[in-house]
Amino acid sequence: MATASEGYELLSVGIDIGTTTTHLVFSKLYVVNLSGGSAVANFEIVSQEIIYESPVYFTPLTDETKLDLGKLQEIIAAEYKTAGIEPSDVKSGAVIITGEAALKENAEEVGRFLEGLAGDFVVAVAGPDLESILAGQGSGAQRISRKEGITAVNLDIGGGTTNIAVFKCGEIWDTATFHIGGRLFTFNPYSLEVKSVTKIGASYAEHLGISIEKGRPLNPNDVEVFCQGLVDVLDEVIDRRNLSALSKIGLIRGPLKRDYQIDALMFSGGVGHFIYENEIEDYFSYGDYGPYFAQSIKNRSVALKKHRVLQPDHTLRATVIGAGVYSMKLSGSTIY
């Protein structure tokens, strides 16, 4: 029979290259063999300790279509050095390229390069279901759902996408993903001149009857209209109403099913982080509308007022923690 003494510690890393930000988390995992006398080992993670969290970097781009591989390499190498960790020390983990970053022309090239960076990596340009699940695990939504026996919905709202995971008594029950985020357009935080607009952002703006054009000054009233439109989409999604034309613009995967009741909501991601902030000093200091969008959700979301809102374990780092800790299934000496 396997005993706890047959367990061992290993060092894992999660690397999240997202629409807006890039960051790393190193975790120490304790795994035990649960296979008993079976010839095939079956390891399970029984505890984890985060031992290093990197600063949050803006995801570097060479242009609007490509990730900057050289700068990503510099960031990751520098963080390994700061953490005092050699690539050979890392025995498991995941690199996950999420949101709009996963749509960049060279996303697969970046994934292949990082594959050789350390240990037994899982490298994937993650699909929307995986992103949703990892964020919901890293935020603590799954843990609370299991502990309290409730149906909890985690909404991971980043720069380009909102990844939704529904956990029922700790089991993954449903997922959905929409192009809803805090960086569908960017601007100079001082002059408010628009620097970039995604195709989805432009489609939302056109449908809402406002003008957001690259090189033109941003009208703060248009930001309010834009954010209210996104809040309306979120409410439709959470309430599982028939999707309006506006909501269909951003649909990636879903919508959510209607065969369960929602007990509680939780938020993670960059925008989710600001939902839990009591005060936001400057809504536009990041060159995007993310903080303002978060405030709009707090003040104007009907769905938010109808449901209990859970306190997350992690917000901004939920996906990267999920990637480093929860994405692995261990069987024998193989991690995949």
Domain ranges of the chain: 4-129+319-335, 141-312
Contact 293, 227 (CB under 8 A): yes
* Greater pLDDT, 316 or 241: 241
pLDDT tens profile 27-50: 888 877 666 655 555 667 777 888
Helix (H) or strand (E) holding 173: strand 171-178
User: CA–CA separation, 164 vs 148, rounded Å?
Assistant: 20
**Residue 84, pLDDT above cutoff 60:** yes
Q: What pTM value is reported for the model?
A: 0.86
- Percent over 90 (pLDDT), the chain: 59
Q: Above 50 in pLDDT, residue 52? A: yes
**Least confident span in 41-55, 288-302, 311-325:** 41-55
Residue 183: pLDDT band (50, 70, 90) is: very high
pLDDT of residue 230: 98
Residue-wise pLDDT for 291-304, tens only, equals 999 999 999 999 99
> pLDDT at position 42, please?
62
Confidence at residue 112, expressed as pLDDT on a 0 to 100 scale? 73
| pLDDT confidence tier of residue 116, bands split at 50, 70 and 90 | low
Query: Tens of pLDDT along 129-163?
Result: 888 999 999 999 999 999 999 999 999 999 999 99
pLDDT digit string (tens) for 100-110? 888 788 888 88
pLDDT at 257: 94
Q: What's the pLDDT at 320?
A: 84
Task: Find, among 177, 96, 173, the residue nearest to 129 by Cα.
Answer: 177
CA 163 – CA 177 distance, rounded (Å): 5
Q: Is the pLDDT of residue 225 over 60?
A: yes
Domain 4-129+319-335 has CATH 3.30.420: yes
Helix (H) or strand (E) holding 113: helix 107-115
- Greater model confidence, 109 or 187: 187
Q: What is the mean pLDDT of the chain?
A: 86
Phi-psi region of 300 (alpha: psi -120 to 50; beta: other; left: phi over 0): alpha
Question: Over 60: is that where the pLDDT of 310 sits?
Answer: yes
pLDDT at 4: 45
pLDDT above 50: residue 329:
no
Residue 115 binned pLDDT confidence (cut-offs 50, 70, 90): low
State the pLDDT at residue 169: 97
Angle of helix 290-300 versus helix 220-239 axis, rounded to 10: 50
Stronger pLDDT, 51 or 116, i.e. the higher one? 51
pLDDT > 70 fraction of the chain, expressed in percent and rounded: 88
What contacts 24+ positions apart, CB below 8 Å, involve 35-39?
A: 35/2, 36/1, 36/2, 37/1
pLDDT digits over 208-221, tens only?
999 999 999 999 99
Model confidence at 126: pLDDT above 70? no
Average pLDDT value for residue range 264-274? 96
- Cα–Cα–Cα angle for 182, 184, 185, nearest 5°? 105
CATH number for the domain running over 141-312: 3.30.420
Decide if 58 contacts 22 (C-beta within 8 A). yes
User: pLDDT grade, residue 281 (50/70/90)?
Assistant: confident
How far are the Cα atoms of 186, 269, 271 from residue 154, in angstroms, in the given order?
26, 10, 13
